[in-house]
Amino acid sequence: DAKTTQPPSMDCAEGRAANLPCNHSTISGNEYVYWYRQIHSQGPQYIIHGLKNNETNEMASLIITEDRKSSTLILPHATLRDTAVYYCIVNSAQKLVFGQGTRLTINP
Amino acid sequence: GAVVSQHPSWVICKSGTSVKIECRSLDFQATTMFWYRQFPKQSLMLMATSNEGSKATYEQGVEKDKFLINHASLTLSTLTVTSAHPEDSSFYICSASTPNEQFFGPGTRLTVL
């Protein structure tokens, strides 16, 4: 499975959009990009996933570059409850391999 | 989204004893379940992949005789930590997958004294 690179930490003001980048330059054609988040001492929560096209759901938007080597998760109006570690994962099978993720802190 | 439960949510045991953790998919059938371990301030580490009715596949470095996995039905997988030691203290998380998504349980915090 392709490896991902994420910044270790980010801060965002409450109410603003949080943009979390992820590099996956070795992604192969059949691999999806998944985003999960983990709030302290809880199990990971699914956010969104995509293959080529940009995706949007009630939680977030996922922007994937045309060459698929990077993507951005967008939380449009961040709240304090969005403070968590966000994991970007690429894979083609069911097995998910977690990297270190980005610790996102939403500040009041 | 689909719901996955774990029981117990936390457990404290003495060194040398065995501990069983249950993972259930509550509103869907999961042919595949996964077990992860997470140490403080670290990411999740995949331990094993469990398929219903067959032997689990363990990741490199995970002792299959120490971490016994049973996946007897499409909604239940169990992880038994045998002869637990303090270094086994960790946050154990399971997940259950459908063809397109994977849903995680809330985790079980194991403390071995």
Provide the shortest C-alpha distance from residue A7 to chain B (in Å).
Answer: 14
Provide the shortest C-alpha distance from residue B73 to chain A (in Å).
Answer: 19
- Mutation target to probe the A interface, by most A beta carbons within 10 A, among B9, B21, B37, B44 is B44
Whether the CB-CB separation of A98 and A86 falls below 8 Å is answered with no
**Contact flag B91-A45 (C-beta cutoff 8 Å):** no
Whether the CB-CB separation of B104 and B97 falls below 8 Å is answered with no
3 state SS of B86 = helix
Average pLDDT over residues A68-88: 97
- Give the tens place of pLDDT for each residue, B81-104: 999 999 999 999 999 988 778 899
Whether the CB-CB separation of A6 and A88 falls below 8 Å is answered with yes
Q: Compute φ and ψ for A85, nearest 5 degrees.
A: -95, 125
- Mutation target to probe the A interface, by most A beta carbons within 10 A, among B23, B24, B43, B46 is B43
Residue A74, pLDDT score: 98
Residue B1, pLDDT score: 65
Question: Encoding tokens for residue A4?
Answer: 């991902």
Residues of chain B neighbouring A92 (CB-CB closer than 8 A): none
Residue B100, pLDDT score: 73
Residues of chain A neighbouring B32 (CB-CB closer than 8 A): 94
pLDDT in tens, chain B (113 residues): 679 999 999 999 999 999 999 999 998 888 899 999 999 989 999 999 998 888 899 999 999 999 999 988 889 999 999 999 999 999 999 999 887 788 999 999 999 99
H helix runs in chain A, sequence order: none
Hey, is the C-beta of A44 within 8 angstroms of any chain B C-beta?
yes
Q: How far apart are CA A66 and CA A70, in angstroms?
A: 9
What is each CA distance from B56 to A65, B8, B80, B88, B101, in whole angstroms? 37, 21, 13, 19, 20
Residue B51, pLDDT score: 87
Q: How far apart are CA B85 and CA B3, in angstroms?
A: 31
H helix runs in chain B, sequence order: none
A2 pLDDT band, cuts 50/70/90, is low
